[in-house]
Amino acid sequence: MLPQSAPQIVSFSDITKTFENGTVALQDLSLEIRQGEFVSLLGPSGCGKSTALRLLAGLSEPNSGRLNWADDTMSVPDHDLSFVFQEPTLMPWATVFENVRLPLKVRGIGKVEARGRVMSALELVGLERFEKSYPRELSGGMKMRVSIARALVTEPKVLLMDEPFAALDEITRFKLNNELLEFWSKFGLTVVFVTHSVFESVYLSSRILIMTSGPGRIVADLPMTAPYPRDDDFRTSAEYADTCRRVSHALKDAMAA
Ligand SMILES: Nc1ncnc2c1ncn2[C@@H]1O[C@H](COP(=O)(O)OP(=O)(O)OP(=O)(O)O)[C@@H](O)[C@H]1O
């Protein structure tokens, strides 16, 4: 599946991010992401994964260095880019339909025009029958599906995900992993995915960037060559187990260094 030949979509050049309290969250970070990649940022707590994702989303600015989108329109906040957080961050007072409609509303798209798009996004995540439900009536997995539908309703090119499945039980997480891979492939998305989990990153990614802290930086860039589609057979294969072991060792080495 693509990587090497695909065009670059965004690059970080020597990016440093220091917070006001003096914490150097990222130092001299350079990185290129290509269109259609599924890139995971994997590393221990505090190594700057979320900071890197927030810079990509335009939610924060670097102190030095440059972030370059190949297409200038991508640097406009919210344009062609969606963010999924660990918490589904749904409006509790609004229905599932209204929650998913929100990004379209923010863009000035009227309810009539939005309806078809919202219902298509809900169908994608299997929640079309729940359009009138409120978040409190949904399970954790369903809330996350609503959050994903809200991210996909704008038909983004790039999906940024910050530990989206960390709070879910394993069976739900596996299901959502598979659904995410389906959306990624169906829509030709570029996904940047933050996780602590070696297993999750190996299952999903076309490439894993291992980060470490003190200061936050990338210490290994590992292509994941197992073919897609990946399914439950892959999850129980020797190749998956071997790759998890290799990535786990690389992570341990990075943390010890
Ligand atoms: N707004 C902030 N002000 C000060 N320090 C911050 C701020 N945000 C993050 N940090 C610090 O910057 C470093 C990187 O944080 P970041 O949240 O990016 O790490 P992370 O790898 O995503 O961690 P986790 O996996 O725990 O979410 C940490 O030391 C964190 O305490």
Q: Which ligand 1 atom minimizes the distance to the CA of 17? A: 12
Write the class of the CATH domain 3-80+158-256: alpha beta
| Residue 64 pLDDT exceeds 90 | yes
**Ligand 1 atom nearest residue 196's Cα:** 25
Whether ligand 1 lies within 6 angstroms of the CB of 56 is answered as: no
Identify the residue whose C-alpha is closest to ligand 1 atom 31. 46
Is the sign of the CA dihedral 245, 246, 250, 256 positive or negative?
A: positive
| Ligand 1 site, residue 49, Cβ cutoff 6 A | yes
Q: Is 46 in the pocket of ligand 1 (CB under 6 A)?
A: yes
Summarize pLDDT for 183-241 with one digit per residue, the tens.
999 999 999 999 999 999 999 999 999 999 888 999 999 999 999 999 999 999 999 99
Q: Is the CB of 23 under 6 A from ligand 1?
A: yes
C-alpha to C-alpha distance for 241 and 246, rounded to whole angstroms: 9
Assess contact for 221 and 43: CB atoms under 8 A. Answer: no
pLDDT band at 54 (very low <50, low <70, confident <90, very high): very high
Going from N- to C-terminal start, the domains of the chain cover 3-80+158-256, 90-155
Nearest-CA residue for ligand 1 atom 17 is 50
- Ligand 1: which of 15, 16, 23, 162 to mutate, judged by most atoms within 8 Å of the beta carbon? 23
Is the predicted pLDDT of residue 5 greater than 80, yes or no?
no
Q: What is the mean pLDDT of the chain?
A: 92
Residue 146: the pLDDT is: 95
- Above 90 in pLDDT, residue 132? yes
| Residue 45 beta carbon below 6 angstroms from any ligand 1 atom | yes
Band the pLDDT of 3: cuts 50, 70, 90: very low
pLDDT at residue 116 above 60?
yes
Judge whether 82 and 156 are in contact, CB under 8 Å. yes
**What does the pLDDT average to over 141-170?**
93
Strands (E) in 2-104, as ranges, are 8-18, 24-34, 38-42, 64-69, 81-84
- pLDDT at residue 247, as a whole number: 97
Q: Which of 74-78, 91-95, 152-156 has the least mean pLDDT?
A: 74-78
Task: Please state, for a pLDDT cut of 70, what percent of the chain lies above it.
Answer: 95
Give residue 77's pLDDT: 56
Mutate to test the pocket of ligand 1, among 16, 20, 26, 51 (most ligand atoms within 8 A of CB): 51
Q: Is 105 strand, coil or helix?
A: helix
**Do you know the residue count of the chain?**
257
**CA torsion 104→108→109→112, rounded to 10°?**
110
Q: Give DSSP secondary structure letters for 197-250.
A: -HHHHHHH-SEEEEEETTTTEEEEEEE--PPSSP-HHHHTSHHHHHHHHHHHHH
State the distance between the two ends of the chain, measured CA to CA, in whole angstroms. 32
Once rounded to an integer, what is the mean pLDDT over residues 120-125? Answer: 92
- Residue of 24, 45, 217 best suited for mutating to test ligand 1, as the one with most atoms within 8 Å of CB: 45
79 has pLDDT over 70: no
